[in-house]
Structures are given as C-alpha cells and as structure tokens.
C-alpha cells in the first residue's frame, strides 16, 4: 500500500514536469487573429490610461494600437517584430514588462537572485542550528509531546504559545 503510493508520488511529479515542459515549449498556440492580437495587447501599456493594458482599455489610443497589431499580424509579422516596432515609436514605456536588457535586467534577476541567496543562507543556517540542537532523546520526546497535545485536544504547547 505504502509502496504504490510512493510510485504515484513519483508519477505525479513526472506528470507535472511534463505539463510544465509542454507549457514552456508550446507557448500558447493562439488560434484566431483576435486571440493573437489580444495576447500581444495584454503586454502593452495603454499610455493614456492609468495602469490598464492595451487589451483591457476601451480608449481610442488602445483601439488604434489593437488595429495596428491586427494589421501587422495579417501582414505576417511576428509578435516580437510588432513589439519592436511599437517600442521604436513609443519607447520601452509601452511594454508592461521591462525589457530583459540594460537596467531591465535588474528587475528580472533580482527576485530570483534573492530567492536563491535566501535558500542557500537558510540551508546553511538550518544545518548550523541543527548542530546546536538538543540530543536525539529529547527530540523523540518532543514529537511524543506533540501527539499527546493533539490527543488531549488542548493543542496549546506547553512551551508557552497558549492564549492568555
């Protein structure tokens, strides 16, 4: 029983990995022209609105840009060509995500770098604190205590997290 559950866990992870790969590989094959237009428009900022994308805004500006995207898609241009064109007319500001170049790199790289550094730091700290931890005998007792607490239903840990 336990064993096949383990296999399922592995299977699940594999399924997830496959799905994730599929998602990154296929990058949403949009079908209709409208869908493709909207997919591009979603990443563009409506310059006359407050915090709305070209896809969401009903403004004349956004309507015009959507029309332009549609026209260029029909002419066979790719999404990145269209975005490059619009950047050449309106600057990087029209992109709702900063470009992955120059200063924009900072925005894209800083959060993953923080997570990575945090994980490394935490692993080091945890290993370090583990050294300082109490003897294994006490550990088992602690786990036992936890169960005792659950059983008597008090739940409040004796080490002082109970409500006043």
94 SS3 class: helix
Q: Does residue 124 belong to the site contacting another protein (CB under 8 A)?
A: no
Residue 60 beta carbon to another protein: minimum distance, rounded to whole angstroms: 5
Rounded Cα distance, 159 and 147, in Å? 15
Name which of 78 and 107 has its Cβ closer to another protein.
Answer: 107
Shortest CB 43 distance to another protein, Å = 5
Closer residue to another protein in complex, CB, 78/115? 115
Cβ atoms of residues 54 and 45 within 8 Å = yes
Number of Cβ within 10 Å of residue 64's Cβ equals 11
* Rounded Cα distance, 23 and 17, in Å: 10
- Give the count of residues interacting with another protein (CB under 8 A): 95
Q: Which of residues 14-73 bind another protein (CB under 8 A)?
A: 15-16, 19-20, 22-23, 38, 42-43, 45, 47-48, 50-53, 56-58, 60-61, 64-65, 67-68, 71
Question: Distance between CA 135 and CA 142 in Å, rounded?
Answer: 11
- Least CB distance to another protein at residue 76 (A): 17
Closest distance of CB 98 from another protein, Å: 5
Of residues 140-159, those binding another protein (CB under 8 A): 140-143, 145-159
Please list the alpha-helical segments (H only) found in the chain. 2-26, 33-41, 60-74, 79-90, 104-132, 136-152
Residue 84 binds another protein, judged by CB under 8 A: no
């Amino acid at each position: 029983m336990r064993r096949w559950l383990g296999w399922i866990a592995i299977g699940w992870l594999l399924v997830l990995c496959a799905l994730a790969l599929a998602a990154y590989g296929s990058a949403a094959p949009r079908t209709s022209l409208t869908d493709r237009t909207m997919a591009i428009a979603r990443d563009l900022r409506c310059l006359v609105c407050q915090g709305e994308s070209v896809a969401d805004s009903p403004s004349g500006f956004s309507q015009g840009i959507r029309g332009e995207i549609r026209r260029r898609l029909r002419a066979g241009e790719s999404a990145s060509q269209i975005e490059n064109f619009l950047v050449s007319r309106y600057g990087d500001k029209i992109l709702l995500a900063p470009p992955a170049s120059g200063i924009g790199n900072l925005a894209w790289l800083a959060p993953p770098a923080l997570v990575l550094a945090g994980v490394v730091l935490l692993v080091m700290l945890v290993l370090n604190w583990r050294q300082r931890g109490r003897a294994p005998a006490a550990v088992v007792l602690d786990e036992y205590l936890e169960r005792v607490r659950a059983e008597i239903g008090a739940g409040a840990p004796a080490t002082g997290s109970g409500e006043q």
